[in-house]
Amino acid sequence: MADDNLPSILLVSFRYPPETGAAATRLEALTTRWASLGHDVTVLTTTPDYPDGEVYDGYHNEWLRREQHDGVTVVTTKSLPASPSDHLLRRAIKYLWFTTIAVLVGTFWLNKRDIVLATSPQPFAGLAGFTIARLRRVPFVFEIRDLWPESLVAMGEVDNTAVISVLGTISNFLYTHADRVSVVAPGMKETVVEAGADPDDVWLHTNGIDHTFFARENAGGIDETELFEDNFVLSYIGTVGKAQGLDVVLDVAEQLQATDKYDDILFAFIGFGSRYNDLAQRAEARNLDNIAFLGRRPMSEVPNYLHHSDAAFIHTESEEAFETMIPMKLYEALGAGLPVVLGASGDAVEILSRADAGIAATPGDADAILEAVKELRENPGKRQAFSENGRRYVVENHSWDAIAEAYSDKIRCLVEG
């Protein structure tokens, strides 16, 4: 039941469950908790079709559809099909389409809300949220989960200077004209402030976990029990795309396969993305039997796979733009009590260091990653210590309950002035 003393919230986003991935996980965690605190929460999003560009079963790509999700009103709009592997122009058209529809629906069809939030990485949802907020004369918060156009340039997805300039201009406009900017990693705040935002107007609300969801005692079984029991398994669970830079796994696996001492080490890929099929095909071409591609699994099964694994493998591209990226899967692995082999730099390494829950290696450095894998394999005592440290750290510092409540307090203060 909504509490009339708490602000009503409209969240504009391209991603929301039943879609999977870091964005959907974060937004579901926040919105459902805000609703449980007493906020009247509405999410304005697209018909679910990520990551394949194909509409999910049970949906018909209607112009408008309203449903309830754990106390949250979810309004989906008609989507133009496009996947992450499609040409940037096709995806840009999809983004602009949603921006236009969202402004019309949020301004003229939905009831007025007390505050509007919109979430990145691409700035078009932010542009829609900003426009709705200004037309409705309510505060606007722009949440940044990834930096555009910096990450696009780093991944080589765009090199057109005009496109980069337009995206940068839109992003900087939102950074400086939003009533507040919320970031998920400390390094992102520096970028926003450098663009001209007032440091006092930038909030930090990291990603987190539901520690009961990832608790070992709540884990269930998996279909591949024998595969996991017979090997030392490092699981990679999540999006397999350009930003993750997972080609390095092929080189690590090839070196491991060349020696009998480590013939029980197995990399398990659970997820999907624009690079999944290519990675699987190249692993097969190189006869790498120590990599298993298990495909996408629903979020409800992720804790099961984590708890049947011996360690988590997490990796990002070795570009400066990704130094502010803290993968959601890092928090999830720590929450499940898994030691981590992390190929990353910047904020993610800082989190792992604070947690004392794994070994960090230079991203893209196959030799360094190989040594980290060997070290974990050969030291069960260290794995146990990392496991206990990681679980304790995220429970104490990155609980979704605490994050959502702190976020709610700031929203209330902003609305009340």
Provide the percentage of residues in the chain whose pLDDT is more than 90: 71
The total of structural domains in the chain comes to 2
What pLDDT is stored for residue 163 in this prediction?
Answer: 78
Give the pTM. 0.86
Same domain, 139 and 261: no
Q: Does residue 162 sit in the same domain as residue 230?
A: no
In which band, very low, low, confident or very high, does the pLDDT at 319 lie, cut at 50, 70 and 90? confident
Measured between alpha carbons, how far is 355 from 392 in angstroms, rounded to an integer? 8
Q: Is the predicted pLDDT of residue 385 greater than 70, yes or no? A: yes
* Residue-range definition of the domain harbouring residue 20: 9-208+399-416
Cβ(23)–Cβ(89) under 8 Å? Answer: no
- Looking at the fold, whether 51 and 137 belong to one and the same domain comes out as yes
- Other beta carbons within 10 Å of 344: 26
Answer yes or no: is 106 within a domain. Answer: yes
389: left (phi over 0), alpha (psi -120 to 50) or beta: alpha
Classify residue 263: in a domain, yes or no. Answer: yes
In a domain, 3, yes or no: no
Pairing status of strand 64-69 against strand 72-77: antiparallel
Asked if 98 and 228 sit in the same domain, the reply is no
Q: Are residues 254 and 364 in the same domain?
A: yes
More confident site: 409 or 2: 409
- Residue 157 maps to which CATH number? 3.40.50.2000
Burial of 330 (0-12, 13-18, 19+ CB in 10 A): buried
Question: Same domain, yes or no, for 71 and 198?
Answer: yes
**196, 223: one domain:** no
Residues 370, 252 within the same domain: yes
226 and 193 in a common domain: no
Task: Look at residue 4 and tell me if it is in a domain.
Answer: no
What residue type is assigned to position 84 of the chain?
Answer: P
**How confident is the model over 282-303, as pLDDT tens digits?**
999 999 999 999 998 988 899 9
Task: Give 177-214 pLDDT, tens digit per residue.
Answer: 999 999 999 889 988 999 999 999 999 999 999 988 88
Give the model's confidence band at 84: pLDDT under 50 very low, under 70 low, under 90 confident, else very high: low
The answer to whether residue 297 sits within a structural domain is yes
119 with 205: CB under 8 angstroms? no
Give me the helix-helix angle, 380-397 and 366-378, nearest 10°. 100
Residue 156 has pLDDT above 90, yes or no: no
C-alpha to C-alpha distance for 400 and 32, rounded to whole angstroms: 10
Please check the confidence at residue 318 and state whether its pLDDT lies above 80.
Answer: no
Buried/exposed code over 248-257 (b: 16+ C-beta within 10 A; e: otherwise): bbbbbbbebb
User: Are 379 and 408 found together in one domain?
Assistant: no
d(CA 90, CA 333): 34
Helix axes 328-335, 380-397, angle to 10 degrees: 110
Is 349 within the bounds of a domain? yes
Q: What is the DSSP string of 282-318?
A: HHHHTT-TTEEEEE---GGGHHHHHHH-SEEEEE--S
**196 and 236 fall within a common domain:** no
Alpha-carbon span 159 to 413, nearest angstrom = 41
What's the whole-number mean pLDDT along residues 367-381?
Answer: 97
Cα–Cα dist 34/286, whole Å: 49
The answer on 272 and 151 residing in a single domain is: no
